Structure 1
Amino acid sequence: MSKHMPHLSGGIKKGDSALVDPPTGKVVQSRLTQSHPDMPVSVLGLASAVPDTLAPPSHFDRFAKKWTRPSAALDKTLSVNSHTGILHRPSLHGTDSPILNRLTPPPIQDVVEVFLRLGGALALTASQRAIVDWARPISEITHLICTTCTGSSHPGYDLFLHQQLGLGSEVERTLIHGIGCAGGLAIVRLARNICVAEELLGRRARVLVVALEVTSTLLRTEMQSLDEEGAKGGTKPNVASTIFSDAASAMIIGSGEMGEDEHASFEILGCATETVANTEDDLAFHIRETGWRAILTTRVPALTTAAVPSLFTRLLRIATSRPCSLPILTCSTQPNELDWFIHTGGSLILTVLSKTLQLAGPNDDPSQTSPSWQMYKERGNASSASIGGVIERGRLLGGREGVVAVAFGPGVTVEMVILRRCEWRGRDPALGKSVVPNGVDDKVLERDQREKAEVAVVETEAKVIVAKESNGLELPVNNVIETKQGAALREKDQRCVLGLLV
């Protein structure tokens, strides 16, 4: 057992450039149809994991003021922080953590050590949960594909995960770097291609894909970057430090004949990727002596949104080039006829993309983007691990049969997948039982899932997170009085859509 990954006792516990016309017409709700007769590639297990520590925006404000000198850049960063719309961010480190409060930012060796030790445990938990959701022997896993942009070592965390899970020595391992937030769907694309290739060879593949990101250890590095910006008289805010979080996600992807207790949550109908030319300096993640520094320019929302329509058109051609189990899917299918699982890159990205595609927003019924908005509010942006959490929440909430998942990464790179939603909603990880009993009427099931989701949202938004000031007064986090800056009072309902634009 690696010293970096302790056992978890509670682990279980580009080509086409033509744009589509703007989508018109009503959003439709399609009925579930029978699965593809050609043994499609499917998502058979699905889970995510986040740390217990949830950091509200007020914690970042105090931390930023402690480690950066007063400047216009700091002021703008604090303004962005108060407008993200994020309730809290899961973090392996609270802002009072010793590693974040040294005289200098932690060196890269410490960043990697924490990634392997604490992050590795998080990846293990997500993987174990996905395996429970899959409900098959771990010995049936044939491939392991991992991705991250917040840790680097040789061997990579995939080996330690392989060891902790007890996977066979013959299991094929692949670790993907350099694609950042897009990695969560890139590994799905690679897993699908492996499954198709293995099936052509007469073999059945079961691929475990894992995304792990630990961004919290990099917070001091981002503060150093912010301080340097302010010292030279710059006014550029450090957006990354206000939205990123820690998380892991995992899926079991397979094809061929289903085993006992195997169920498909989603069929993967097609995958595509595209890189936008001359955007390397707009979205990047550069290594430094103290870890990695994120580069996010104000062009990112427009760049990512502009790339989606043409990629969607190309993906439709790919998905419909062979018999398809989703009748609604044709080369002329409009974006708003499908649900969308969008990477939680920022509120502006979610808003602008939804508007461009004419999708029903989070306050509409039915919504086509609720899973993304819910995960953004609850978890912020966990880079490559974000989209897995969105897909997991989307499975729970239910919705249209056709779904598009999209994620964005450095390059700018866009990854897109078309999914067919199946009836299986997963298992209770603790009990290993189906969350949705067989034989339940679809309308009753849909109603119950909607009601549960509404209750969960209300409960989450109703939580009163308190910030203790020096006088002992406790106030809701959205009304925090920032004593260091005098009487700067936050409005209770500051949930403006600012995202990356400042």
Structure 2
Amino acid sequence: MPASAYINRIATAVPEHEVHQFYLRFAASMLAADRRRVFERMADLAGIESRYSCFAPALDPEGPSADLAGTFVRGAFPGTASRMGMFGAAAPVLAQKGVDALQLGDDASRITHLIVTTCTGFYAPGIDLDLMALCGLSNSIQRTMIGFMGCYAAINALKLSRHIIRSDPQARVLMVNIELCTMHLQETNELEKLLSFCLWGDGCAAALVTAEPHGILLEDFHCIVATERRHLMTWSIRDDGFEMYLSGQVPAAISEALQGSKDAILGDRPVEAIDLWAVHPGGRSVLDSVERALKLAPSALAKSREVLRRYGNMSSATFMFVMEEMLKAPSGLLGCGMAFGPGLTAETMLFQTVS
């Protein structure tokens, strides 16, 4: 039989700059007074209290620049090339912080595979090679970049990690999810776009996946793609950065997709058989739609809501922040994880806690 794969450790990291209230005020300043009141009322319902950015905010949210360095000047926000330079400078620092928090020690030299997910920036030689040098990884490590898949990329990375372990039980996979979402702030007076931006934060998660039987057993995976809903969520490269579009119809579309695929997701088990729920907190309304679709108890998504409250949506890193909480659960519990992104895609998995 093929070997089983386990998440042995997860560590998370965020930058030092807490920016949520600053960016709410900055975004509001781009709106007329009547739209500002609507924005503030809707932002208060988001379930987010703090978000973090690699870029220090300016001193005055109504001043000429959004950031202390003066890069995001009103009327002259940076282009995509400048933003990719910012990513190349800041992402390796935050990624190393996440990997260092795993406390690999001498085990770093034993890592055989490195998988990196990101959808917020690219450069080459890339962050995979930077991590190899910064974290003491072997020059012969096998590296894979999973790019531009969005919020569900972490589950795809876990799926790939499981395939690696099943084919080579001696493999030791380091998975890094690094996202700098706040770098893609857009200057706009469109209410929907400003509300969308006020979900996003920067963050990194690092995980060790091996055949050693402790932590979280990766049991099974299932993917749903609602192709007729692909227009509801997009992530596009523009001249002035990457632009996220999130339709207000996304929560209802997710609910419909989950209801139609519940048996496949849960392996024909009843919802009541699932002890733990690790749902990517793409936003409060997304979590509400999952809770309604699966008829979950209000407490079922408490860990996801807490991650959203403390960090916002950090794209592919966010799911692993929730999984870090799952590692603290008692042994022998069955869990279901899911994350959503462009496609419209729902990546799901079943897992078990193992002491």
Match of 1:128 among 64, 87, 100: 100
- Match runs of 1:351-430 below 5 Å: 351-361=288-298, 367-396=299-328, 398=330, 401-423=333-355
Answer yes or no: is 1:298 the counterpart of 2:248.
yes
Q: Which residue of 2 aligns with 1:164?
A: 134
Match of 1:186 among 149, 156, 166: 156
Q: Which residue of 1 aligns with 2:276?
A: 339
Q: Distance in 2 between matches of 1:71 and 1:237?
A: 17
Higher alpha-carbon deviation: 271-280 or 295-304 = 271-280
Q: Distance in 1 between matches of 2:91 and 2:283?
A: 23
Q: Distance in 2 between matches of 1:40 and 1:72?
A: 57
Answer yes or no: is 1:63 the counterpart of 2:26.
yes
- Match runs of 1:89-128 below 5 Å: 89-96=51-58, 97=67, 98-101=70-73, 103-128=75-100
Q: Distance in 2 between matches of 1:405 and 1:127?
A: 23
Higher alpha-carbon deviation: 166-175 or 308-317 = 308-317
Describe the SS at the equivalent of 1:168: coil
Describe the SS at the equivalent of 1:243: coil
Cα–Cα, structure 1 residues 73 and 384, in superposed 2: closer, same or farther, change >3 Å?
Answer: farther
Match of 2:176 among 204, 210, 214: 210
* Preserved CA contact (<8 Å) 1:107 1:289: yes
Aligned residue type for 2:4:
P
Cα–Cα, structure 1 residues 422 and 105, in superposed 2: closer, same or farther, change >3 Å?
Answer: same
Answer yes or no: is 1:84 the counterpart of 2:46.
yes
Q: Which residue of 2 aligns with 1:54?
A: 18
Q: Distance in 2 between matches of 1:297 and 1:336?
A: 33
Q: Which residue of 2 aligns with 1:487?
A: none
Question: Structure 1 vs Structure 2: percent identity of aligned residues?
Answer: 25
* Preserved CA contact (<8 Å) 2:120 2:148: no
Aligned residue type for 2:175:
V
Q: Distance in 2 between matches of 1:359 and 1:336?
A: 12
* Preserved CA contact (<8 Å) 1:407 1:414: yes
Match of 1:280 among 204, 215, 230: 230
Structure 1, unaligned stretches of length 5 or more?
1-36, 230-234, 318-330, 362-366, 424-502
Provide Cα deviations, 1:347-380, integer angstroms capped at 9, x if missing partner. 111122112212222xxxxx32221111011011
Displacement of 1:129: 1.7
Displacement of 1:154: 2.5
Cα–Cα, structure 1 residues 370 and 140, in superposed 2: closer, same or farther, change >3 Å?
Answer: same
RMSD: 2.3
* Preserved CA contact (<8 Å) 2:278 2:338: yes
Displacement of 1:411: 0.9
* Preserved CA contact (<8 Å) 1:342 1:369: yes
* Preserved CA contact (<8 Å) 1:73 1:236: no
Q: Distance in 2 between matches of 1:71 and 1:129?
A: 44
- TM-score, normalised relative to structure 2: 0.89
Structure number with higher strand proportion: 2
Aligned residue type for 2:346:
V
* Preserved CA contact (<8 Å) 1:272 1:311: no
Answer yes or no: is 1:41 the counterpart of 2:20.
no
Higher alpha-carbon deviation: 205-214 or 304-313 = 304-313
Q: Distance in 2 between matches of 1:333 and 1:136?
A: 44
Match of 2:199 among 216, 227, 243: 243
* Preserved CA contact (<8 Å) 1:44 1:252: yes
Displacement of 1:82: 2.0
Provide Cα deviations, 1:63-82, integer angstroms capped at 9, x if missing partner. 1244x252765554333222
Aligned residues: 345
Provide Cα deviations, 1:15-73, integer angstroms capped at 9, x if missing partner. xxxxxxxxxxxxxxxxxxxxxx974210012111011222233x22321244x252765
Provide Cα deviations, 1:326-354, integer angstroms capped at 9, x if missing partner. xxxxx333256331001010111112211
Higher alpha-carbon deviation: 150-159 or 182-191 = 150-159
- TM-score, normalised relative to structure 1: 0.64
Q: Which residue of 2 aligns with 1:148?
A: 118
* Preserved CA contact (<8 Å) 1:149 1:179: yes
Aligned residue type for 1:411:
G
